[in-house]
Structures are given as C-alpha cells and as structure tokens.
Copies of this chain bind each other. A is one copy, B any other.
Amino acid sequence: MRVKMGGGYMDYATAKRINQLLTTVYGDIVRVEELALRTSQFKDISIKEVHAVDAISMYEHKTTSQVARELRITPGTLTTMVNHLVRKDYVQRIKSDDDRRFVRLGLTRRGRLVYRAHESFHRKMVESFAKDMDDEQLQIIEKALLNLEAFLEFASPTPDR
C-alpha cells in the first residue's frame, strides 16, 4: 500500500518505520545520556539538569528568563533547578549591576566539565548519524527535518524567542 505524500508517494511500511524511528530516537538519546551520567563522576545531576547546564552555556551570561524560554519551562521552574545546580556547584548566579532585577547565569568549573562532556556526546552522535553521507544527502536530511518543524510550527505556532 502506498500513501500520498505531497509530490510523491510513500511506501506505507516505510512511513511506519520512519514514524517509529522519529518517535523512539529522542527517548533513546536520553536513555544513553542518563546511563553515561550514572557511570561518570557526575552522579548527582539529572539529564534535565544537564540540559539546563547546556542552555546556560559557557560563553555568555544569559538571564534566567532567557534560559527558561530556551528550555521551554517557566522561570519559576528554572529558579528551582538553578537552586539545586548552585547547591551542587554546577552553576553560579551573577547579579547584573546595571539592572539589579536581572540574574545572569554562569557555569562553575564543574559545570563547564559537564557542558563539555555533553557537547562531546552530541558531536559524536551527529557524526554517527551522518556517517557515510555526502553534502547532498545531508541537505536532504536537513530538508526533511525542516519540513517536519514547519508542519509542527503550523500545527502550533510558537511565540518568538
């Protein structure tokens, strides 16, 4: 059986497999990240907290609201997370001196270690993903993912960041 797909037609089984892959891949990434953490020196940090560390990032001092928007959580939720991450010495709060309402976030030495480990995992992952593919093939993949984003954006417009 073949399903209509815009210009072309798509094998029904292929559609099923791709759907399956798309919906399981993220969970698998998270599972591997979790396992990596449990067997590393960073046993006191959850994967969500690592993603917060990643969003806080190394090279600028974003505000709490900025980071919360990126992570798509409320500022209140991020405050709680940051409380924990400060207590566990991954993150530091830096008060802005120009406007003292803002809290800017930065990584500690320990936080930078986690950041780099996480970055490295994702680099390896994408390398693996794109293994044996040339530029043209990568463009096809990116196009497909952008189609998907466009569909989702159409289904539920997001507020600008």
Contacts and interface: CB of A to CB of B under 8 A. Distances in A.
A3 B127 contact: yes
A141 B31 contact: no
A11 interface: yes
Interface residues of A, number: 59
Given A25-B22, A129-B22, A152-B32, A8 B145 contact: no
Nearest to A148: B129
Contact of A148 (B3, B125, B138): B125
Most chain B CB within 10 A, of A5, A10, A126, A156, is at A126
Contacts of A128: 147-148, 150-151
A160 to B, nearest CB: 15
